[in-house]
Amino acid sequence: MLPFSNIAIIGLGLIGSSIAHSVRASMAGARITGFDADPTVRARVIELGFCDDVSDSAGAAVTDADLVMLCVPVGAMAAIAAEIADDLPADAIVSDVGSSKGSVMEVLSKTLPSARIIPAHPVAGTEHSGPDAGFATLFHDRWCILTPPDDALEGDVEQVKAFWEKMGANIEIMDAKHHDLVLAVTSHLPHLIAYTIVGTASDLEDVTRSEVIKYSAGGFRDFTRIAASDPTMWRDVFMSNKDAVLEMLQRFSEDLTALQRAIRWDKGDELFDLFTKTRAIRRRIIEEGQDDAAPDFGRSHE
């Protein structure tokens, strides 16, 4: 039994295309209709062939759907919801993959007041973007968080859960507000900091950009990966989860100031204690299968 048989994927970047590949791999028989606002992306998707059909409008893509997956940047949700409003079948479930959930739910429920909305956030990705970046195993052993509204039908939640489980994900159900706080620290703050330090390093007057690149293996290059993520997507995340991001940033800044003082006043013990504690977190992430145990992320050293 397939959880859905007619899936419309709106937005065919890394996540949208990965869902398509993953549906193909795990839900044979399900039909995939794709749409992307960018005509060059649509043309490329036709070449790549991972959708059964590529529509020329968002409305046309959803007319026969029992699941509509919105895979656009969160700042584009309102516009795309308005575009599909007239064509959305009454019994279709609308879901999304946005990285912030409170604001997305607010926008979708306003624009599609009678729709059955079950927001979702697969915590998975790479730094690459676009329809060529997707692959079927992206969600394997990753967590997908559902944030259903209080009045969601239990059957709808179960169906969306089954859909993600088929793609290899583990499911957690969470309040949207709590989701936004948790992801502010595990995802949004790390991206903000990585973008910042890469910016700082490339704008120094006494260290050249070429030196920064040459000696990046000392640690810096680890930050450049997530600072290469999609600019539109991330701009929207920070705009839409502003309160939680600013709150976490405040905590981080306080802790950084404390370390700065410890360095200034030669308090080596304080540094040593923190540096010992942080090792344990890494160990648990590896134990729980959320990162590679191989040193250096498993990068090849020839």
By CB under 8 A, the residues from 189 to 248 that bind its own copies are 189-204, 206-207, 209, 211-229, 231-232, 234-236, 238-239, 242, 245-246, 248
Q: Which of residues 253-282 bind its own copies (CB under 8 A)?
A: 253, 255-256, 259-260, 263-264, 266, 268, 271-272, 274-279, 281-282
Tell me which residues in 66-105 interact with its own copies (CB under 8 A).
Answer: 75, 99
- Range 111-130, binding its own copies (CB under 8 A): 123-128
Least spacing, CB of residue 155 vs its own copies, in Å: 26
Task: Quote the DSSP letter at residue 214.
Answer: H
C-alpha 36/C-alpha 71 separation (Å) is 9
The CA R_g of the chain, rounded to the nearest whole Å, is: 21
- CB-wise, 46 or 263, nearer to its own copies? 263
Of the pair 7, 136, the CB lying nearest its own copies is at 136
Query: Which of 159, 224 has the CB closer to its own copies?
Result: 224
171-190 residues in contact with its own copies (CB under 8 A) are 172, 181-183, 185-190
Q: From the CB of 156, what's the least distance to its own copies, in Å?
A: 23
Site for its own copies in 7-66 (CB under 8 A): none
How far apart are CB 114 and its own copies at their closest, in Å? 31
Contact indicator for 52, 32 with CB cutoff of 8 Å: yes
Cβ neighbours for 21, distance < 8 A, ≥ 6 positions apart: 50, 134, 135, 136
- The DSSP element (H or E) to which 269 belongs, if any, is helix 268-287
Q: Do 204 and 130 form a contact (C-beta atoms < 8 A)?
A: no
Least distance CB 270 / its own copies (angstroms): 9
Q: How far is the CB of 181 from its own copies (least distance, A)?
A: 6
Gap between the Cα atoms of 176 and 146, Å rounded:
8
Binding mask 134-153 for its own copies (x = CB under 8 A): -x-xx-xxxx-x--------
Question: Which of 76, 67, 187, 65 shows the shortest CA–CA distance to 121?
Answer: 187
SS (H, E, C) 10-65: ECCCHHHHHHHHHHHHHCCCCEEEEECCCHHHHHHHHHHCCCCEECCCHHHHHCCC
- Name the residue nearer to its own copies (CB basis): 36 or 236: 236
